[in-house]
Amino acid sequence: MPICLAILVSGRGSNMKAILQAIEEGRLDARATVVFSNNPQAPALAAALALGVPVESVGHRGLSREDHETRLLETLSRYPVDYVVLAGYMRVLTSSFLQHFHHQDGYFRIVNIHPSLLPAFPGANAYEEAFAYGVRLSGITIHLVDEKVDHGPILAQEAFARLEEDTFDDFKARGLSVEHRLYPQVLQSIALQGIRLLPSDQPSFYQETKSK
């Protein structure tokens, strides 16, 4: 049985597209039941619609965080959802939202991708901050979501190099290509065997560092 995904986006949606493409190509045994955005103008919504996925949006402007989440929950309740997949969803989720997606091990069925080797550079500008810091190595983290920003048990991390001649755009493009490959892979591992966490903080799904 394919797993049902609600994909939450705020902007461009390149990760969403990579996930939808993996489903289309049979690399990910999942069904995207809905794509939701807090930004009614998000380009991701048009892209999802064009691919035949139902889209919903509730703008967050003028709503309290609680009211916005109530509307989000009400929206999601109309679709089958096994996992909530954050793909560039730039809103912090409150603990009361998380409680609606309990996983049997006490974690939540909410997955996020972040473009750094967490716990380094959490927040909305990880590529910019890592590049400006002068890191030689950065990476991508996929993790379960908890109450803190870009925080929670790690499902996968993959490092990538920053080369001396890199412009910021080169650096970011290298990271994005890792994101687009890794997110569908991790979701497929969840589709096959559920969420597998090690008893400690160690990543349960580790990929070798790649330099390109």
Binding site for ligand GAR (CB under 6 A): 9, 11-15, 87-88, 113-115, 124, 126, 150, 179
The nearest distance, CB 37 to ligand GAR, in angstroms, is 10
The nearest distance, CB 199 to ligand GAR, in angstroms, is 26
* Residue type, position 107, single letter: Y
The nearest distance, CB 149 to ligand GAR, in angstroms, is 7
Q: Which is nearer to ligand GAR, 20 or 190 (by Cβ)?
A: 20
Catalytic residue check, 102 = no
Q: Which is nearer to ligand GAR, 17 or 71 (by Cβ)?
A: 17
- Find out whether 187 and 21 touch, Cβ atoms under 8 Å: no
Q: Which is nearer to ligand GAR, 87 or 190 (by Cβ)?
A: 87
Q: Which of 60, 68, 102, 114 is an active site residue?
A: 114
Q: For residue 150, count CB atoms less than 10 angstroms from its CB and return exposed for 0-12, middle for 13-18, buried for 19 or more.
A: buried
Residue with smallest beta-carbon separation from ligand GAR: 88
Q: Where are the alpha helices (DSSP H) in the chain?
A: 14-24, 43-50, 65-76, 95-98, 126-133, 168-193
Q: Report in angstroms the alpha-carbon separations of 54 from 34, 60, 192.
A: 5, 20, 24
DSSP 167: -
**Residues with a known catalytic role:** 114
